[in-house]
Each structure stands twice: as structure tokens, then as C-alpha cells.
Structure 1
Amino acid sequence: MSVTETDRPAYLADTHTGLPIPGEPVFTTHEETRRHRKQRLAAALRLFGKYGFGEGISGHISVRDPEHEDRFWVNPFGVSFNLVRVADLICVDSAGNVVEGKHRVNPSAFVIHSAIHEMQPGATAAAHGHTAHSRALGALGRLLDPIDQESAAFYNRQVLYEEYEGPSVSAELGRDIAEKLGDNRAILLRHHGLITVGGSLDEAVHWFFTYDSCAQVQLLARAAGTPKSFTHEQAVAAGDGFGNEQLGWFSFQLLWDEIVREQPDFLEED
């Protein structure tokens, strides 16, 4: 629930949600920003591995380079989420050339992420995976219904992508996905998986985790009966809080603390 009153009770912080959420870090150089983003990217990939979002060679997370707007950092082809380190990350330009790093790029990662970063300026980062819950929901051709607070974060902010012509390796398909995504924060690919985006890597990855857990809840609820959805007014109110970008960014910091404590080797840079 957002708080807009001028005079707030002492227990509410001076933020949109009333929660004591700090601001994002600000860096003075491209090098500092790049290092921060690469560390967050490696952490996100390890978290994908930890929470079972790996599916063979499938799945990728990207973040735009802070200096070169036509480049993005992404996980390399053929390296397990559970093993990725900062040193393994690759930087890819708009033509698909690996300009930094020693590994190859996944063709699907290039066509999808390059198009999103080019066509959606607000998408600093994008996360894609073939999770069981997103694939099941996509097979049903259903988006998330606003049946709880978390799913309200995607109310009027998600889209279903119906087309399927095989693995995503053509530039045309990547551009079509990016175009259909628009300014939404999630696109569910029927017969494929899920993509979420955000103004930071932290936010994009949080939305991915939340969408997947909401898909699980919806599948469970529909299997048990007929879940009751929010009214439009309720969904908007819940989405204003649980869909807040600052809250999305901060929620990832808890996962960051968790993975740094458990798997600090992902921070290795050489």
C-alpha cells in the first residue's frame, strides 16, 4: 500500500511504499558501474541455479553496459548457472560479436536480449528462463490473474506471446518478442518460457522470481478450485505497493546477501 500523506506516522519511512528502503548506489565512473552490474549478473545466475531455473543450455540474463549503449553483458553459452563467475561473463555488441570474454554467446540470448535492449530503452536488464511453472502457465495460454498481492505486481504489466516457430535464433523473432513486450515488465512465451525486464538487473531478476512463484500459486489454486481475483481497484492498490520498482530493486538485495554468504566464489574476476 502506498503512503502519500504529508504527515506520516513514525513507523513509516519517507518512501512511496512507506518501507525503509535505501536508494540504489551511485557510481562516478563507468568502470565502477560496470563492475557492480557484472557482480549482480553473476549473482543472479547463481541464484537461478540454486532455485532450479536451469534447463540444460537454456536461460540467460543480461544487463546493458553502462558506457556502450549498444553492448550488453550476458552469461556464456554452455556454462552452468551453478558455476558462472564474474570472470566467465561475456560482453556482446549489436552485431553479435563477443567483444569481451573468452566464451561464445548463445544465439538465442543474442537475438532476444539485443532486441530488447535496443527497442526498450527502459530495460536495463532482462531475465529469461524455461521454468516449470512458467512453461505450464504458458501451455495453458494464461497470464497471471490478480489473485494475491504478489501477482498484482504484473496487473496490466504482462503480455502473452502466442507465436512459436522453433528455437529463438532469428533476429526477426527477437525483434518481434521485443516489440510485443512493449513497456510491460513480463512477457510469457507460449511453449517456451518467461522473460522479465527492469530498470536495473536487481529489479528484472526480482520480477522473474516473483512471476514464477505467482505462476505456481495460480496453478495450485486452479487445480484446487476456482480462485477469487481482486477487483480492479484492489489489484491497482496492491500493484502500487508490490509492483513498486524501488521495492523490486531492494528485494533482490536479500538474495544478493544470501548468495554472497553461500557462494562467494562467483565474485572471482580471473
Structure 2
Amino acid sequence: MATTLRDTKGSLVARAQRQMREHFGESALTTRQKLALTCRILFDGGHDSGLAGQITARAEAPGTYYTQRLGLGFDEITEDNLLLVDEDLNVLEGDGMANPANRFHSWIYRAREDVNCIVHTHPLHTSALSMLEVPLVVSQMDTTPLYDDCAFLKDWPGVPVGNEEGEIITAALGDKRAVLLAHHGQLVTGASVEEACDLGMLIERAARLQLLAMAAGTIQPLPHELAKEAHDWTSTDRRSQANFAYYARRALRNHPDCVTTGTTEGKAL
């Protein structure tokens, strides 16, 4: 017999969160493996734009992070060909050079101690939306993790290889997890690789939905309190872990060469 049909929404939310903590946990994958998988996941998710874009994650030593080698596309990244760089983009481990545009990642990591992963890409629909010089509008339940959590940089500062662009983009991001960059693309951050990957997938879907809705009529806003509730409900670490595990399983089926150390069999993704 059912015992929860008269429970309050608050108690049911708390119950679901307890269950997610029990059933979803930390991944056994390394940071390198998660980052390589994120490159493949986002490639399959429409984030490919030639060699444009950078995906980084903090490494073990302060002031260092992992990133892909300039000259390789997201679909070519493996845990073995990632670079370890310092804040000046000097390569500490690996062969080749980092994308010079990684410089603004150094600025964000310095300003935001809560950020451990940054995804900056030029996906098709997000880039198209950026050409209109309008902010991202979150008006659909699935995209509420970005509700009131996506900043907007209206003025394009040019090619982001200088320290000036690092200051401008970091200031525009502020304390939010994402920023839409006019005439450019998108940037999302996460406390974990999993969170940043999830938001990277989501912002492209949100941009596509916005363009479709704008073409059909006027987008109607979500009620603020309900949207904020949905944002918080969908923004937990366990949700990020569960979403990423699904994306990772799919990526490994499509790109089994991505993870090269040992095997993923028996590992918690």
C-alpha cells in the first residue's frame, strides 16, 4: 500500500535526494579520462568547430591544468595526448602546444576557486544565437540548470589570446556557471568535469530551443520561484554524475580509443 501519496513536495524532494546519494557516487575515472571523454561527448553533441574551443580541468599541482593539444579536434582527444600546462601555457607534460586562447582559462581559474573545469566551444546553435546579441533565455524545464546562471557578454573583445580578454571574459562570467559570448560562442564552468560537461551539452540545447521558439513566436518567461526551484533541483553533484555517466557510456561505445589506461569494465562511470 502506498505511504507517500500525501507527503509534501519538500519531503519528497528530500527523499529523492537521499536516494540519489545512495545510488550515484564518485566516478572511478581519472581527471584525464573524464576530460578526454568530455571532448568526445561534446563532439558528438554538436560542439565541433574545427580546432576552435578549449576544454580544461585543474590538475593536481596548483596553477596547472589539463587541456587538449592545438592541432587536434575534439574527436581525436585521448587521455594520452592531453597536455599539462601552467598558467603561462608552458607545457609541463605532453607533446605540442596549447591553444593560445587558453590564456583566459588561467584568468578564470585564478578568479574562481570553485571552478575545476572550463568548457569553451563554438557550437552551431549557440554561435548563431550569439550573432543576434541577445542573452540566453531559459524558458523550458530541461534547461533550468542555466536559469539565472548564464551571464551575457554583449561586446566582442576580439580574438581571446591577450590578458585583456581574460579580464573581460572573467568579469562577464562573474559568479555564474555560464556565459554567452556575443559573436563568439559559449563558456561553461563546473566544480567538476562532470558538471561542466553536462552544462556544455545543455547550453547548446537551450540555444537551439530558443532559436526555434523565437522563429515561431514570443518566448514566455518561467515563474521565477518555480524556475529557481528547478535550477536547484537539477544542479546537484549527484545529477551531474548520473548524467555524465550516461554520456560517458555512449561516448565509449562510439569512441573506444578515448580511454587508454586499463579498462573501464567494472569502473563506476
- TM-score bracket relative to the smaller structure: 0.7 to 0.9
Deviations 1:200-251 (A, max 9, x none): 0110010011111011011101101122221112211221222334312321
User: How far apart are the structure 1 equivalents of 2:258 and 2:50?
Assistant: 20
C-alpha RMSD of matched pairs (Å)? 2.4
Matches within 5 A, 1:240-259: 240-259=232-251
- Tell me the number of residue pairs that the alignment of Structure 1 and Structure 2 aligns: 255
User: How far apart are the structure 2 equivalents of 1:43 and 1:266?
Assistant: 7
Deviations 1:164-222 (A, max 9, x none): 23211102211221122122010111010000000001100100111110110111011
Going from structure 1 to structure 2, the CA distance change for 1:248 and 1:25 (only over 3 Å counts) comes to closer
Give 2:257's aligned residue: 265
Give 2:217's aligned residue: 225
Give 1:22's aligned residue: 24
Give 1:165's aligned residue: 157
User: How far apart are the structure 2 equivalents of 1:21 and 1:203?
Assistant: 18
Q: Which runs of 5+ in 2 are unaligned?
A: 1-7, 263-269
User: How far apart are the structure 1 equivalents of 2:189 and 2:220?
Assistant: 28
User: How far apart are the structure 2 equivalents of 1:170 and 1:115?
Assistant: 11
Give 2:267's aligned residue: none
Match of 2:76 among 68, 80, 83: 83
- Superposed displacement of residue 145, structure 1: 2.1
SS in 1 for 2:16: coil
TM-score (norm 1): 0.87
TM-score (norm 2): 0.87
Determine what percentage of the aligned residue pairs are the same residue: 28
SS in 2 for 1:15: helix
Q: Any conservation in 1 of the 2:46–2:124 contact (CA below 8 Å)?
A: no
Q: Any conservation in 2 of the 1:129–1:194 contact (CA below 8 Å)?
A: yes
Matches within 5 A, 1:42-191: 42-65=36-59, 67-109=60-102, 111-191=103-183
- Superposed displacement of residue 20, structure 1: 6.5
Q: Which runs of 5+ in 1 are unaligned?
A: 27-34
Structure 1 outlier segments of 4+, above 4 Å = 18-21
SS in 2 for 1:96: coil
